[in-house]
Amino acid sequence: MEPIYIPNLVKAPDRTLSLDVRDRLPGLESLTAVTGRMQVRHQRNYLEVSATAETIITLTCDRCLQQYNHRLKVDTSELIWLDAAADKQDADGPVDRAADGPKNREVGLEDLVEVLHPRGYFYPDGWLYEHLCLSMPHRQLCDRQCPGIQPGPDARESQPLLDRRWASLAGLKIEN
């Protein structure tokens, strides 16, 4: 998807641009192209961005460590403020991030673009990528009933530990 020059949005009908999404997003290893729709509306001092999109990605199950396919979906919207003060951020941002190295870039997923310069660009690819990443399941299970790797002797040994913790809690209760 092409970057959108924000001032051009003002000239669009209803100050709105609708985009068909049918792309592979850089950085997102998906089995299928990301498909869906995006809408970017210029609301004078902010952009209203909404999207419904989906793709299929391969995840590794937290329990059995097998790979499985997962349908990743977003149905979301976000307001992005337009502020001329964002200019400095734009100029400094990429340089700082490069200096931080790739590790810090990944942490930066929460660091969503929330302020843009009114005469800057909006990047639909980057926005959608960030929102797809945010919708990744925290708990990755191939199946809710996944029995996981069968517990070995080590796992059984940890059981009494748990019991002891409860026992000390119970002891506290009696003292009170």
> Which residues have a Cβ under 8 Å from the Cβ of 12 and sit 6 or more positions away?
42
With tokens 């734009």, the residue in question is 90
Residue 145 or 158: which CB sits closer to Zn ion? 145
Pick 1 or 59: Cβ nearer Zn ion: 59
Tell whether residue 142 is a contact of Zn ion (CB under 5 A): yes
One residue of 64, 90, 133, 135 binding Zn ion per CB under 5 A: 64
User: Pick from 4, 27, 2: which is nearest to 133 by CA?
Assistant: 27
Alpha carbon distance, N-terminus to C-terminus of the chain: 64
Residue 81 burial (C-beta neighbours within 10 Å; 0-12, 13-18, 19+):
middle
CB of 65 to Zn ion, least distance (A): 7
Q: How far is CA 72 from CA 29, 30, 136, 137, 160, in A?
A: 12, 9, 7, 9, 39
User: Site for Zn ion (CB under 5 A): which residue of 25, 40, 61, 72?
Assistant: 61
The one among 19, 28, 57, 146 contacting Zn ion by CB under 5 A: 146
Q: Could you say whether residue 63 binds Zn ion (CB under 5 A)?
A: yes
Please say whether the beta carbons of 114 and 90 come within 8 A. no
| Number of C-beta neighbours around residue 40 at 10 A | 22
| Residue 70 interacting with Zn ion (CB under 5 A) | no
- Of the two residues 16 and 140, which places its CB atom closer to Zn ion in the complex? 140
Piece of the chain touching Zn ion by CB under 5 A; list 33-41, 61-69, 97-105, 125-133: 61-69
Tell me: does residue 117 bind Zn ion (CB under 5 A): no
Nearer to Zn ion, 139 or 156 (CB): 139
Q: Is 28 in the site for Zn ion (CB under 5 A)?
A: no
Q: Which stretch binds Zn ion (CB under 5 A): 5-13, 77-85, 89-97, 143-151?
A: 143-151
